[in-house]
C-alpha cells in the first residue's frame, strides 16, 4: 500500500508542486492585499476630516478592499487548480456564462445595490459609527458593503437596508461628550 502512495506521488509530483505553488501564491497575495490595505491610511490622512472620521473611513474602505480581493484571489486559485486535478473548466466557464446571463437578467436590483453602494463609498456619504436615518430607519452604521448597509437600532436590533432602497440619508451630528 505504501508503494502505491509513493508511486502516485512520484507520478504526480509536478502537479502537486503546481498546486502547492498556486496555494502559496494565493496565500501571499491575500497577505499583500491586507498589507496594502493598511497603507490606505496615508491617503485618508490627507483628507480634511477629523481623526475619528478618518478612522471610520479607513475601517469602511479597508474591509471592502480585503473582502473583495480575497474572493477574487480565491476564485482565481480554484480556477487554476481544477485543471491540474483533471477537471475541464471550459464547459464549467461556458455554463457559468450562460447561467450568468440568465441570472443577470433577474438580478437587476442586485446590480443597482452594488452601483449605489459604490457611490455611497466613493462620495463618503456616511461611515461606520455614524448615526443616520436611512429609509425611515434610525441607527448607528455598523457595516457597509457594496450591497447593503447595516444599522444598529436604538433597541439593539440590526437593520439591514439594500443600497438601492436608499434615496435620502440624514446624517446626525455626533453627540458631544460631556466632561
Torsion (CA) 49, 51, 52, 53 in degrees, nearest 10: 30
pLDDT at 74: 93
The answer to whether the beta carbons of residues 156 and 146 sit under 8 Å apart is: no
Is the CATH number of domain 1-106 1.10.287.1260? Answer: yes
The residue among 124, 113, 106 whose CA lies nearest residue 148 is 113
pLDDT of the chain, 179 residues: tens digit per residue: 677 777 767 777 888 889 999 999 999 999 999 888 877 777 776 667 777 777 777 777 888 888 889 989 998 999 999 998 888 888 888 887 888 777 777 777 888 888 888 888 888 888 888 999 998 999 999 998 888 999 999 999 999 999 988 989 999 987 766 55
Q: CA 66, 69, 70, 71 torsion: positive or negative?
A: positive
Give residue 121's pLDDT: 82
What does the domain layout of the chain look like in residue ranges? Answer: 1-106, 108-172
Question: Which pLDDT does position 178 carry in this prediction?
Answer: 57
Alpha-carbon distances, residue 99 vs 83, 89, 91 (angstroms):
21, 15, 12
Q: Do domains 1-106 and 108-172 have the same CATH topology?
A: no
pLDDT of residue 13: 81
Domain 108-172 annotated CATH 3.90.1300.10: no
The whole-angstrom separation of Cα 94 and Cα 87 is 14
pLDDT of 73 reads: 94
**Quick one: 169 exposed, middle or buried, by C-beta within 10 A (0-12, 13-18, 19+)?**
middle
Model pLDDT, residue 155? 94
Closest CA to 160 of 168, 171, 151, 169: 151
Q: What is the pLDDT of residue 45?
A: 67
Amino acid at each position: 500500500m505504501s508503494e502505491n502512495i509513493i508511486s502516485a506521488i512520484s507520478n504526480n509530483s509536478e502537479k502537486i508542486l503546481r498546486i502547492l505553488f498556486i496555494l502559496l501564491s494565493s496565500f501571499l497575495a491575500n497577505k499583500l492585499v491586507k498589507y496594502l490595505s493598511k497603507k490606505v491610511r496615508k491617503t485618508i490622512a490627507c483628507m480634511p476630516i477629523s481623526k475619528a472620521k478618518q478612522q471610520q473611513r479607513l475601517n469602511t474602505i479597508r474591509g471592502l478592499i480585503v473582502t473583495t480581493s480575497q474572493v477574487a484571489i480565491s476564485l482565481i486559485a480554484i480556477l487554476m487548480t481544477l485543471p491540474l486535478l483533471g477537471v475541464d473548466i471550459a464547459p464549467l466557464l461556458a455554463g457559468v456564462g450562460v447561467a450568468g446571463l440568465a441570472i443577470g437578467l433577474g438580478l437587476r436590483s442586485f446590480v443597482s445595490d452594488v452601483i449605489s453602494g459604490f457611490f455611497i463609498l466613493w462620495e463618503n456619504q456616511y461611515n461606520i459609527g455614524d448615526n443616520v436615518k436611512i429609509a425611515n430607519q434610525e441607527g448607528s452604521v455598523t457595516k457597509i458593503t457594496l450591497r447593503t448597509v447595516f444599522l444598529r437600532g436604538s433597541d439593539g436590533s440590526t437593520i439591514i437596508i439594500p443600497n438601492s432602497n436608499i434615496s435620502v440619508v440624514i446624517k446626525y451630528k455626533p453627540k458631544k461628550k460631556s466632561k
